[in-house]
Amino acid sequence: MSKQIIFNCALPESRVALTENDQLTELHSERKRERGVVGNIYKGKVVRVLPGMQAAFVDLGVEKAAFLYVTDIYPEFQDLDFGDEDDDEAEATGGGESRRSSRGSRSKRGDRGRKKESKRPKRSEIKVKIEDLVKPGQEILCQVTKEPIGTKGARITSHVTIAGRYLVLMPTIDRVGVSRRVGDSRERRRLREILNACRPKGMGFIVRTAATALSEQALIRDMEFLLEVWRDIGKDEHRAPALCHRDLDLSLRIVRDVLTDDIDRMVIDDEGEYKRISNFVKTVIPHSKTKVELYTGGEPIFDQFKIEPEIEKLHHRKVWLKSGGYIVIDQAEALVAIDVNTGKFIGKKDLEETILKTNLEAAKEVVNQLRLRAIGGIIIIDFIDMDRMENREKVQAALNEALRGDRAKSNVTKISDLGLVEMTRKRTGESFGKLSGEPCEGCEGSGWHKSKIYAAYEIFREIQRKARNAKGKSVFVEMNPGIADLMYGDERPSVEALEKRFGITIIPKPMASRAVESYDVVVK
């Protein structure tokens, strides 16, 4: 299977696409003016304690106060269950995500996980309260585990983790875990023994999958690097609220967490970003340095790799299946509902076979869409009703198999008699729909359209396409007045950069009749 990572970094919005056999499987984006905070470590100041919710609001020095639950402070509340001291790779990527929920653990480990968890005290048996642990005005070192979502502030924890290439440091937890994706028991034992022999007392580590067959020296180097980062955080003398440690930006996080031996190449369209990523790879993953390539083609990189049309489809509620069936995705405030339909597919033999084939195809596409759209939280999938139990089991198996390739943790129930599947998927930030859209003013928020900033970046990309051989010419852009204000306000440097790069003059033509999605770029 051919796997590639494609970086589109030439504009103020960095986008990274993961492809398998030339099919888009994951999409990540980060705007330079709106860089995420997950993984950042802050010295926060408690501003309010809520005994009724057993939580506290903490000022991090950002727009909204963060939310700290009692379960993220008191060690006995931690749902850590190392069992034979293994851990899941998906939860070993920093930002406090090394803690697993008991519900998610049970779904993956079955009876073995339940038996071990039964030995831990129930939450109702633990009498420690939030008001006994923190007070207003108190300073606390904490880490962001979830981005602010909608009107909610960030979610934080006092049990910080610092991710490296091969290890994750857990300064407040005295255990060593090994990724469950390290399949060989002898290798897991070897890795655990190395860490137990040299780690500082009272500090824990998770060994990541990338450490498989790694030498002892390389493991110790990564451990010493993480310990030095932790010592630097401890030296921070700024008064709260203050940022103590910023996690890597999107491009370097992807390289650190996703670049494995099965990735064939990484292609980057910006020379400065190419040099930065190349230097990072040479330092952290030297054996993969030949996989880094600079894209020098004429058309935008996402057009060249046929990724842009796939991204455009993510704005649609209806997703067609190859057979002619389709799924409909509706995202509400509290949950996401996905409906499966046979559509144009009429089958060949009988109705049950037609339904089975549609449901099997839909199971894979549902997971694909969850990954691409970064959908999390509660999800209800309404498969077409099946009469035979063996067919339900086939669809259930297909859904579970598709989820094996998803790096986000999930918990799935069995298909009910009504054909419904309830599932949860870990959510750490806004979905693609929320990031790329905003409530429609024309319909008072009952519908959605592309946001002005998203449409502005689309126009920038269209200018790139039209201006490749337009040196000395003028580029006229008809657009919505709101987008024109944005492009010649906050995004003025981006316009000037395009003019300088292509030797053109960009002339805006604001038109009140143009909707946000509607624009026209003409070179004269």
Going from N- to C-terminal start, the domains of the chain cover: 3-33+249-309, 41-245, 314-425, 451-523
Residues 273-292: tens digit of each pLDDT: 999 999 999 988 888 999 99
> Which pLDDT value is given to residue 429?
75
State which amino acid sits at residue 233.
Answer: I
- What top-level class would CATH report for the domain 3-33+249-309? alpha beta
Q: What three-state secondary structure class fits 113?
A: helix
Q: Ranked by mean pLDDT, which of 76-90, 99-113, 241-255 comes out on top?
A: 241-255
Question: By C-alpha distance, which of 141, 198, 205, 147 is closest to 177?
Answer: 205
Degrees to nearest 5, angle at CA 199 with 194 and 202: 135
pLDDT over 80 (residue 395): yes
Supply the mean pLDDT for the chain: 86
> Which pLDDT value is given to residue 289?
92
pLDDT over 90 (residue 139): yes
- Rounded to two decimals, the pTM is 0.78
> Which pLDDT value is given to residue 96?
40
> Which pLDDT value is given to residue 3?
93
Beta carbons within 8 Å of 42's beta carbon, 6+ residues apart: 60, 61, 141, 142, 143, 144, 156, 240, 241, 242, 243, 244
Residues 164-213: tens digit of each pLDDT: 999 999 998 889 999 888 888 999 999 999 999 999 998 999 999 889 98
Residues 151-177: tens digit of each pLDDT: 789 999 999 999 999 999 999 888 999
Structure tokens at 196: 């137990």
Q: What three-state secondary structure class fits 73?
A: coil
Q: What percent of the chain has pLDDT over 70?
A: 89
Taking residues 409-423, report their average pLDDT: 92
> Which pLDDT value is given to residue 166?
93
Q: Ranked by mean pLDDT, which of 53-57, 330-334, 511-515 comes out on top?
A: 53-57
Q: Ranked by mean pLDDT, which of 112-121, 264-273, 436-445 comes out on top?
A: 264-273
Residues 343-392: tens digit of each pLDDT: 988 877 788 889 999 999 999 999 999 999 999 999 999 999 998 899 99
Architecture of the domain delimited by 451-523: 3-Layer(aba) Sandwich (3.40)
Q: Are the C-beta atoms of residues 413 and 403 closer than 8 Å to each other?
A: no
Q: Which residue has the higher pLDDT, 441 or 39?
A: 39
**Pairing between β-strand 3-8 and β-strand 13-20 as defined by DSSP bridges:** antiparallel
> Which pLDDT value is given to residue 444?
63
State which amino acid sits at residue 524.
Answer: K
CATH topology of domain 41-245: OB fold (Dihydrolipoamide Acetyltransferase, E2P) (2.40.50)
> Which pLDDT value is given to residue 90?
39
Taking residues 64-82, report their average pLDDT: 70
> Which pLDDT value is given to residue 442?
66
Residue 477 phi/psi, 5° resolution?
Answer: -125, 115
Q: In terms of C-beta density within 10 A (0-12 exposed, 13-18 middle, 19 or more buried), how is residue 31 classed?
A: middle
Q: What percent of the chain has pLDDT over 90?
A: 62
Taking residues 60-78, report their average pLDDT: 81
Band (473; pLDDT cuts 50, 70, 90): very high
Q: How far apart are CA 369 and CA 313, in angstroms?
A: 10
> Would you give the DSSP letter of residue 240?
S
> Which pLDDT value is given to residue 78?
46
Taking residues 71-78, report their average pLDDT: 65
Q: Where are the alpha helices (DSSP H) in 118-184?
A: 130-133
> Which pLDDT value is given to residue 318?
95
360: left (phi over 0), alpha (psi -120 to 50) or beta: alpha
Q: Are the C-beta atoms of residues 57 and 46 closer than 8 Å to each other?
A: yes
Q: How far apart are the first and last CA of the chain?
A: 45
Residues 110-125: tens digit of each pLDDT: 343 434 444 444 545 5
> Which pLDDT value is given to residue 126?
52
> Which pLDDT value is given to residue 419?
86
